[in-house]
Structure 1
């Protein structure tokens, strides 16, 4: 194990305690922590039960029902759990109707009922008296894949639903089933309404870090409309229930208030320093619970006096984090990045093998999910999700690394590399490469609901830029060869696009000329490849993997491409994630005769001269490949880093 996580994903409150849900891995179940807010200590930790046939990895949803029960919504099995405060167990209530992947959000209704929203069928449901009931149509909003957020108005019995892939906001009347659309037209280009709260007589809607304050009005015909009282930018997801006419939230790192009556936003000088997953009130004190670099913290603020505190919770769960990316650093260490909850590990080859049950070094906090790693010119470059952030780190310098560029700030939400238009904002940086002049190149998958990835070009002393290279395709592999940058695309767009693969498209190779900025496409002589997931420079030539085929070319004559089928093409329909990151190709200095790689669950080597293929290892669930300075290979399965010695 390389990375640990003490980050709650969802929080609710009941009877002076916080109930925080901590995500696990496929091999380590999530946990519910009961935290006494007065003492800031964990009083109980409960492992969430599951089964081999229906594993529970984590959860994003928690709510307290009117009868005091705590409900949790999980993934990837869309299960609902109930915990009765004071008891030592949680009860598995089964899958939400339809049995899909995520319960995204939960809201309490009347008489102990709870409402929920799911992915990937855009279902809105209720749970009451031991039974699930689907409310409205499926999906509840036409075209919706996600019911991502909920807010309930108990006075009218209506629930507000925030959906995606294309953002929508509706009011659902639970008595009549009437649906009214409320989202202002200016936000229709967004992909998701990520958070909703009904408080203080207003609907607060969080859309891509903008907090909309909406006034909902009923017309004579019974329909409802919404008008925006305010649009507050750069706001963290969660905000407080209204008290004394004000709602509290973090904006640009500082605690702010919003006065409902006047629409006034006021900043304090308080910097909470944590990602709050839930707020409540204790008397006149605002209390927030969430994740900081040093673990779970409780934040307190007294509006009357301005006094505040932030303290680490004692005894919070610390669970393994699945490894999402790995790569060799310039200092010889093997660096890893954690899935979902972030964090990074550093393994010192052969010296860090003392305890397989604990990380070799303390988990480095401060970064979100790492998608790619690159050692270049003495620095470690890190591509992080979301918003395709590029960081750099010099080994020995303080952590966290320095943010260099944010692909999520590039382009326009309204564009998708249409003719004459730029790229959409980018999200997932699966590919990194370095040029001889110090330039770093980043290939990305776009934001949710978009198809066109992009190429980012960044160099020290420049602002960097992001450009379209192949419309309707993501950029998932990069390599520098023969004075040119080469990239490989995937016909799979971001999550939320339908169909998953761009109709009629073939993944392609492209080149970028650093001297002129020219981009050229180099179609592969293969039958409709779905993705080019690996590229490497080998003996002056470019090697690549497209599905199960190896292709090679001379960078000076990229139109002359040779191909060879190594393996059957992967089943990208059944496992679409492979179309972003299936293959790896690399060379190892200790073995100049071979090229090493992965495809599917296999590690293989190819003779550079004869192209003879040898499968070295088949290990179900393995992903990724890198090598240390001694010539050992490394790959990952869930939270475990594995080493494979080169064959003699």
Structure 2
């Protein structure tokens, strides 16, 4: 009896008691919005005021800005329409009859704002959840034309009557009517996948192809008897009857948006730098007239306020004025101007243990200092799709430029290493290999192209070695450096950038030797499963989560290349390893976290589906606490496999 009594304190302080204490403690700690944004998509100007629509907020905010005072004077939210899903922004804006129209995503709905009354209303749906109204233009009589995704159509909407007309399929297989313009007789549409500029008769709906471009069309405008459209770096300037075509290309970068002066002079911005260029009548090349008013930014709209002033709207949430005589510009932050900011869907996350949590947003990075609890925010040149640490720097893979940048942990200094190029504008995954001291990046092309690339990046010199088509006919969604280094495993996607028929039916995994820079082997683990969302090497197995195949997960024996485990999750997300175990957090089913062993064990549910890219988990060393999201809040969640399933 004495011996048993002596053992009791040990029993109540041993592993079982510790697990019970862990399970009884609060499982979820919230720290407020993970990433705050004032980013915008649609922008238009009317009667001395600018109107912008936010990106990523639910519900979206339409803000009115007095151009004289440069301050937000009024804002409204776009109400949720009757269709399933919630709007998160409006790429498309136009003015008709003194009212502001906005076309939203990811539900393709049309809204109307009346500046006279301050009222906003839902007026029409043009599809179901997952669709976009990408573009919107008003004809001289006020009739509106909307370009939509994923049906690649142009629709007519008459505000006075509510009448709608569908012009049908503009090109077989097209998904994006990316840009539209209209005059009294015709509608002009730029198609992204099929790289065609088409003219639609307003009278009878007849469709005629005016031009084809080297890549998809991103912007269309009409001026006098001519149509101007951007296709990558090329401006196509053509008469409305299809004759007299001329093409002028930028020496570097691609064209973003443009406007024309009364004399036909074209003013355009470029990506990825955000610089401003001019093309005069009869000139054979663009002239750069100003450094980027908002460096590295996308431009949502440019418009001449007068003969000397160009007004621009930056996607990260800025508005700028450029003096055409001097080339000098002023940039105003829209949040500082009074735009209501809000929580956005984060792009990426990285934990620097005992120091900080970094959260990538739209053209921003938010940092929570773990030592003080303070938060800070600084600008990034795009969307950091993934983050990795090497020493005292973080490296980010950036969309839409395909740039790799570094962030100094001590100073927050952001520096560009270089661009992937080769059409690789969608970098999805980045890791560090300590054996070769190189960064590796998995990427997909933008638009109707299948082949992605593995890029090997020297973090010291910025040298980038791009291996395009390393898995033939597939893009790359994910990669995993072997725990012993020197080899990286790749997860493929047969759909590539989308918009072109795949040549393979099953997503492959491949092993790539980083020293010899060659593929060692390639296999298709499950026939008919087309996209790997993520792969992770651990303990002789390669774990994989498929994206478009009902949350299928596998474990592939790296020695035999045979699938030895297989199961189902509620959705897809990113894999991580911690304390000798494999975990994943996934979309759908409310937002769930699992441990993957011989089967998937549900650890948490109800985390929400608020990631923009992959749901992620970032564990603190020696602990079961993982940094993640709960809704759109930054959260620290206890994911002890010994505890019951938790719900925030």
Superposition TM-score, scaled by structure 2 size? 0.82
Q: Secondary structure at the match of 1:194?
A: strand
Q: 1:174 to 1:217 in 2, by over 3 A?
A: closer
Q: Deviations over 1:372-424 (max 9, x none)?
A: 1112233211112124322222201343x2222322x12xxxxxxxxxxxxx5
Match of 1:493 in 2: 495
* Contact kept in structure 2, 1:389 and 1:429, CA below 8 Å: no
Q: 1:6 to 1:583 in 2, by over 3 A?
A: closer
* Contact kept in structure 2, 1:433 and 1:479, CA below 8 Å: no
- Alpha-carbon distance between aligned partners in 2 of 1:444 and 1:312, rounded to the nearest angstrom: 31
Q: 1:546 to 1:595 in 2, by over 3 A?
A: closer
- Alpha-carbon distance between aligned partners in 2 of 1:497 and 1:508, rounded to the nearest angstrom: 20
Alpha-carbon deviation of 1:171?
1.4
Match of 1:228 in 2: 246
Q: Deviations over 1:427-459 (max 9, x none)?
A: 232343423231111111222222222111111
Q: 1:92 to 1:561 in 2, by over 3 A?
A: same
* Contact kept in structure 1, 2:348 and 2:360, CA below 8 Å: yes
- Alpha-carbon distance between aligned partners in 2 of 1:207 and 1:444, rounded to the nearest angstrom: 22
Match of 2:368 among 335, 342, 347: 347
Match of 1:370 in 2: 384
Q: Deviations over 1:277-302 (max 9, x none)?
A: 22333343424132387x52331425
* Contact kept in structure 2, 1:10 and 1:61, CA below 8 Å: yes
After superposition, residues 141-180 of structure 1 pair within 5 angstroms as 141-154=171-184, 157-180=185-208
- Alpha-carbon distance between aligned partners in 2 of 1:447 and 1:645, rounded to the nearest angstrom: 38
Matched, 1:204 2:203: no
Alpha-carbon deviation of 1:363?
2.4
Match of 1:255 in 2: 276
- Alpha-carbon distance between aligned partners in 1 of 2:247 and 2:344, rounded to the nearest angstrom: 41
* Contact kept in structure 1, 2:350 and 2:357, CA below 8 Å: yes
Match of 2:646 in 1: none
Q: Deviations over 1:606-634 (max 9, x none)?
A: 56xxx575421123545222123463212
Alpha-carbon deviation of 1:525?
5.2
Alpha-carbon deviation of 1:537?
4.4
- Alpha-carbon distance between aligned partners in 1 of 2:262 and 2:98, rounded to the nearest angstrom: 21
Match of 1:105 in 2: 135
- Alpha-carbon distance between aligned partners in 1 of 2:63 and 2:394, rounded to the nearest angstrom: 36
- Alpha-carbon distance between aligned partners in 2 of 1:624 and 1:545, rounded to the nearest angstrom: 15
* Contact kept in structure 2, 1:100 and 1:118, CA below 8 Å: no
Q: 1:377 to 1:621 in 2, by over 3 A?
A: same
Matched, 1:603 2:589: no
Matched, 1:586 2:616: no
Match of 1:551 in 2: 555
Q: Secondary structure at the match of 1:323?
A: coil
Match of 2:635 among 617, 634, 642: 642
Q: Secondary structure at the match of 1:140?
A: coil
After superposition, residues 499-578 of structure 1 pair within 5 angstroms as 502=502, 505-523=505-523, 526-539=526-539, 541-547=540-546, 548-553=552-557, 558-559=559-560, 561=562, 563-565=564-566, 567-568=567-568, 578=572
Q: Secondary structure at the match of 1:472?
A: coil
- Alpha-carbon distance between aligned partners in 2 of 1:60 and 1:76, rounded to the nearest angstrom: 10
Match of 2:64 in 1: 34
* Contact kept in structure 1, 2:154 and 2:167, CA below 8 Å: yes
- Alpha-carbon distance between aligned partners in 2 of 1:44 and 1:257, rounded to the nearest angstrom: 34
Match of 1:628 in 2: 620
Alpha-carbon deviation of 1:505?
2.8
Match of 1:405 among 418, 435, 440: 418
After superposition, residues 88-487 of structure 1 pair within 5 angstroms as 88-96=118-126, 101-128=131-158, 129-137=160-168, 139-154=169-184, 157-184=185-212, 187-188=213-214, 190=215, 192-199=216-223, 201-208=225-232, 210-216=233-239, 218=241, 224-225=242-243, 227-233=245-251, 234=253, 236-251=255-270, 253-263=274-284, 265-269=286-290, 271-273=292-294, 275=297, 276-291=299-314, 295-303=317-325, 309-313=330-334, 314-329=337-352, 332-338=355-361, 341-349=362-370, 351-352=372-373, 361-399=375-413, 401-407=414-420, 409-410=421-422, 425-459=424-458, 460-461=460-461, 463-467=463-467, 468-481=469-482, 482-487=484-489
| Segment drifting more, 329-338 vs 161-170 | 329-338
Q: 1:628 to 1:351 in 2, by over 3 A?
A: farther
* Contact kept in structure 2, 1:476 and 1:489, CA below 8 Å: yes
* Contact kept in structure 2, 1:56 and 1:77, CA below 8 Å: yes
Q: Secondary structure at the match of 1:131?
A: coil
* Contact kept in structure 2, 1:597 and 1:625, CA below 8 Å: yes
Superposition TM-score, scaled by structure 1 size? 0.82
Q: 1:214 to 1:395 in 2, by over 3 A?
A: same
* Contact kept in structure 2, 1:217 and 1:226, CA below 8 Å: no
- Alpha-carbon distance between aligned partners in 2 of 1:524 and 1:312, rounded to the nearest angstrom: 49
Match of 2:54 among 22, 47, 55: 22
* Contact kept in structure 2, 1:475 and 1:490, CA below 8 Å: yes
Q: Deviations over 1:114-159 (max 9, x none)?
A: 111110111111111232423422x2233221110012233xx112
Match of 1:421 in 2: none
- What is the Cα-based RMSD across aligned positions, in Å? 2.9
* Contact kept in structure 2, 1:97 and 1:134, CA below 8 Å: no
* Contact kept in structure 2, 1:323 and 1:637, CA below 8 Å: no
Q: 1:296 to 1:613 in 2, by over 3 A?
A: closer
Q: 1:49 to 1:489 in 2, by over 3 A?
A: same
- Alpha-carbon distance between aligned partners in 2 of 1:95 and 1:172, rounded to the nearest angstrom: 22
Give the gaps of 5 or more residues in structure 2: 1-32, 547-551, 610-614, 643-648
| Segment drifting more, 119-128 vs 627-636 | 627-636
Alpha-carbon deviation of 1:213?
4.1
Q: 1:121 to 1:240 in 2, by over 3 A?
A: same
* Contact kept in structure 1, 2:449 and 2:500, CA below 8 Å: no
Match of 2:44 in 1: 12
Q: 1:132 to 1:75 in 2, by over 3 A?
A: farther
Number of aligned positions between the proteins: 583
Matched, 1:615 2:615: no
* Contact kept in structure 1, 2:433 and 2:486, CA below 8 Å: no
Match of 1:78 among 108, 132, 136: 108
Q: 1:322 to 1:350 in 2, by over 3 A?
A: farther
- Alpha-carbon distance between aligned partners in 2 of 1:132 and 1:521, rounded to the nearest angstrom: 58
- Alpha-carbon distance between aligned partners in 1 of 2:582 and 2:254, rounded to the nearest angstrom: 47
Q: 1:431 to 1:492 in 2, by over 3 A?
A: farther
- Alpha-carbon distance between aligned partners in 1 of 2:394 and 2:288, rounded to the nearest angstrom: 37
Alpha-carbon deviation of 1:306?
6.2
